[in-house]
A and B are shown apart, each in its own frame.
Chain A
Amino acid sequence: MHLNFSVWLTRWPYLLQGAAISLEIVVIVLLLSTPLAMIAALGLGATNRAILYPMMAISWILRGIPPLVILFVAYFVVPQFGISLTPLVAAIAGFTAYNTLVVAELIVAGFRSVDPGQHAAIAALGLPPFRAYRRVLLPQALPSIIPPYISYSTDMVKGTALAGSIGVLELVTRANQVILATNRPFEILLGIAALYGIVDAGLMGLQAAAERLWAPHARR
Chain B
Amino acid sequence: MLTSCVKWAPLAALLAFAGGAEAQSAATATGPQVSIDLPKPWPLRHLVATGTLTIATTGKSAGVTFVDESGKLAGARIDLWTKLADDLGIKPDFVVIDWPGVLPGLAANRFDIACEGASWTKARLASPDFYMTRPLEVAINVGVALKSSGIATWSDAAGKRLGGVKGEQELKDLLAKAGAKTASLELPGVPEARLALLNGQYDVYGTGMQVAQTLLKGEDGDKFMILGEPTAVDASGFCVNKNEGDLAQAVNVLLAKYSVDGTMASINKKWDMPDTTANLAKLGY
Q: Give every chain A residue within 8 A of B100 (Cβ-Cβ).
A: 165
With A14-B71, A169-B96, A185-B191 in contact, is A176–B60 under 8 Å at CB?
A: yes
Chain B, 33-67, CB within 8 A of any chain A CB = 48, 56, 59-62, 66-67
Chain B, 54-89, CB within 8 A of any chain A CB = 56, 59-62, 66-69, 71
What 1/0 mask marks residues of chain B from 170 to 191 whose CB sits below 8 Å from any chain A CB?
A: 0000000000000000000111
Q: Which one of A76, A180, A184 contacts B60 once the chains associate, using CB atoms below 8 Å?
A: A180
Chain B: interface size category: 20 to 34
Contact B66 A181, beta carbon cutoff 8 Å: yes
Q: Which one of A14, A77, A182 contacts B108 once the chains associate, using CB atoms below 8 Å?
A: A77
Contact B66 A183, beta carbon cutoff 8 Å: no
Q: Give every chain A residue within 8 A of B68 (Cβ-Cβ).
A: 181
Contact A167 B95, beta carbon cutoff 8 Å: yes
Q: Give every chain B residue within 8 A of A87 (Cβ-Cβ).
A: 95, 97
Contact A167 B69, beta carbon cutoff 8 Å: no
Contact A14 B109, beta carbon cutoff 8 Å: no
A178 to chain B: closest residue by CB: B67
Q: Is B22 an interface residue (CB 8 A)?
A: no
Interface of A is mostly: helix
Contact B101 A166, beta carbon cutoff 8 Å: yes
With A14-B71, A165-B101, A167-B101 in contact, is A177–B218 under 8 Å at CB?
A: no
Chain A: interface size category: 20 to 34
Q: Is B110 an interface residue (CB 8 A)?
A: yes
What 1/0 mask marks residues of chain B from 124 to 150 whose CB sits below 8 Å from any chain A CB?
A: 000000000000000000000000000
Q: Is A212 an interface residue (CB 8 A)?
A: no
Interface of A toward B, CB cutoff 8 Å: 10-11, 13-14, 17, 72, 75-77, 79-80, 84, 87, 164-167, 169, 173-174, 176-185
Given contacts A167-B95, A181-B62, A185-B195, 7 further A-B contacts (CB under 8 A): A14-B71, A84-B48, A166-B101, A180-B66, A180-B189, A180-B190, A183-B218
9 interchain residue pairs of minimum CB distance: A183-B219, A14-B71, A167-B97, A76-B108, A177-B67, A179-B191, A183-B218, A180-B191, A167-B95
